Amino acid sequence: MEEIVCKLLIIGAGPGGYVCAIRAGQLGIDTVIVERGKLGGSCLNVGCIPSKAIIHVAEEYEVLTTAAAGKSAFGLTAASPKIDLAKAVAWKDEIVHRLNLGVSGLLRKGRVKILHGQARFRDGKTVVVDTEIGSTLVRAEAVVIASGSAPVALPFLPFGGDVISSTDALSLGEVPKRLAVVGGGYIGLELGTAFAKLGSKVTVVEALPRILPLYDQDLTTPVAKHLHELGVEVLTGATARGVAAGALRIETADGQARKIAADKILVTVGRAPATAELGLEELVLDMDGRFIRIGERCETSMRGVYAIGDVTGEPMLAHRAMAQGEMVAEIVAGLPRAWDKRCIPAICFTDPEIVSAGLSPDEARAAGFDIRVGQFPFSANGRAMSRHGERGFIRVVAESERNLVLGIQAVGQGVSELSAAFGLAIEMGATLEDIAGTIHAHPTLGEALQEASLKALGHALHI
């Protein structure tokens, strides 16, 4: 068997693994990365990027169909718009391909050795990689497990045929006439909204009493309203029970059995860590349920073995995985680092979008803070109005003694791009006065952040 000796071995080239490898390369660490699929992992190939591409296509199509229906608020007209989904998927695949090449180029620039194959631990310092042309034994001083996650399947609704995962949904040849979505979380609602705009009759089945339970109800209500306007039926407190010919069988909140006719059934009930084929039984790792337990340096219970990204649990977000990857590379290089982030912003790319950074009012109170909250509606923001996006608001949560900002949330069209400002304010330890005293360019959605801060201070200007 071929043998490679290196300082750092990374298993998985998703956002966690490839960022770790790029930073390690910059630091001159002799690094090997193993990937059994495509460079970029779930995020780049079947997650963040392709889903946002399809969401964009759906938004463009919605503008045309609204105009064609004579419902454009500002006089647009269009005649019989059509969508060629196969062409849209090909456009999405081209973006993914360009990004695959980008990651490959960045890894090569950092002199990272890429092994295409399946990695399996022999012990904490030795991994066997099965490639197309044979097996390679890699001995490393440090190993990073960045193997990510995969969609959870329901035993009574296994993937196959018309029961599809998010991966399948992103590569359909045509828009399903009727789409049943099981799970009203991130993926179910992002993709459910997109398919509703593309013309599917969408029904969402969510087991809990409301959609997007991760976010507070003030943030999710505008999303629920717009789903209703799009004709999406949302059944909360309902559970999927199985599949019948051309239909999803469910139990509704009041205990009734019901069949939902569907051409495709999209199951999006969470993601599970991808650990099954890693040979973890050869190691002695403390686990946190199904996830790998880590400390504040992403260290596992075995010296020299680190874990980052989705395999370490919630929040399963690409930017968290990347930040962990960058940190671990620096730790392996001997730099003094530990996880010291104040917040990991989260965005749901529904319509309207939701952003949450730091603590919500309820979370801040539960953490023992005495708080003041300022909320400013987009209905009083000129930029939002001129984009036909009056729905939603920005909310600032600050502790009331020093006015230190603890959290910022927003719901509204295009608010995802404000997440950088929200995260920066919290990381920099901004106070309400800092945000209120910063000139925010006019006309922008960001002015609502300044106004929300002014409102918390008791003197908003435009409301």
Q: Does 270 bind ligand NAD (CB under 6 A)?
A: yes
Closer by beta carbon to ligand FAD, 15 or else 25: 15
Q: Considering CB under 6 A, how many residues would be counted as binding ligand FAD?
A: 37
Q: Between residue 180 and residue 209, which ones bind ligand FAD under the rule CB under 6 A? A: 187
Rounded to whole angstroms, the Cα distance separating 210 from 230 reads: 18
Work out how close the CB of 20 gets to ligand FAD at its nearest, in angstroms, rounded to a whole number.
Answer: 9
Rounded to whole angstroms, the Cα distance separating 192 from 207 reads: 16
Rounded to whole angstroms, the Cα distance separating 404 from 398 reads: 5
75: Cβ contacts below 8 Å, ≥ 6 apart:
none
Q: Does 163 bind ligand NAD (CB under 6 A)?
A: no
Rounded to whole angstroms, the Cα distance separating 112 from 64 reads: 46
**For the chain, how many residues are written?**
463
With contacts defined by CB under 6 A, name the span among 102-110, 192-200, 201-209, 251-259 that binds ligand NAD.
201-209
With contacts defined by CB under 6 A, name the span among 9-17, 228-236, 256-264, 335-343 that binds ligand FAD.
9-17
Q: Does 269 bind ligand NAD (CB under 6 A)?
A: yes
- Strands of 109-164, DSSP E: 113-116, 118-123, 126-131, 134-145, 149-151, 163-164
Closer by beta carbon to ligand NAD, 349 or else 376: 349
Work out how close the CB of 204 gets to ligand NAD at its nearest, in angstroms, rounded to a whole number.
Answer: 9
Q: Does 266 bind ligand NAD (CB under 6 A)?
A: no
Q: Does 417 bind ligand FAD (CB under 6 A)?
A: no
Q: Residue 96 region, left (φ>0) first, then alpha (ψ -120 to 50), else beta?
A: alpha
Rounded to whole angstroms, the Cα distance separating 304 from 112 reads: 19
Q: Does 187 bind ligand NAD (CB under 6 A)?
A: yes
Closer by beta carbon to ligand NAD, 317 or else 452: 317
Which residue type is seen at 170?
A: L
Q: Which of 278, 298, 359, 371 binds ligand FAD (CB under 6 A)?
A: 278
Rounded to whole angstroms, the Cα distance separating 157 from 109 reads: 44
Rounded to whole angstroms, the Cα distance separating 372 from 349 reads: 28
Rounded to whole angstroms, the Cα distance separating 203 from 386 reads: 32
Rounded to whole angstroms, the Cα distance separating 314 from 317 reads: 8
Are the beta carbons of 444 and 458 closer than 8 angstroms? Answer: no
Nearest to 22 by CA among 38, 40, 43, 1: 40
Question: Is 442 assigned a catalytic role?
Answer: yes
Q: Does 34 bind ligand FAD (CB under 6 A)?
A: yes
Q: Does 349 bind ligand NAD (CB under 6 A)?
A: yes
15 binds, among ligand NAD, ligand FAD, none (CB under 5 to 8 A by kind): ligand FAD
Q: Which of 309, 313, 392, 446 binds ligand FAD (CB under 6 A)?
A: 309
With contacts defined by CB under 6 A, name the span among 199-207, 318-326, 375-383, 435-443 that binds ligand FAD.
318-326
Q: Which residues pair with 258 in a beta bridge?
A: 250
Q: Which of 28, 160, 242, 315 binds ligand NAD (CB under 6 A)?
A: 315
Could you give the 3-state DSSP secondary structure of residue 356? strand
Work out how close the CB of 37 gets to ligand FAD at its nearest, in angstroms, rounded to a whole number.
Answer: 4
Q: Which residues are annotated as catalytic?
A: 442
Applying CB under 6 A, the residues found at the interface with ligand FAD are 11-17, 34-37, 41-43, 46-48, 51, 118-119, 146-149, 166, 187, 274, 277-278, 309-310, 316-319, 321, 349
Applying CB under 6 A, the residues found at the interface with ligand NAD are 154, 182-188, 190, 205-208, 213, 239-240, 268-271, 315-317, 347-349
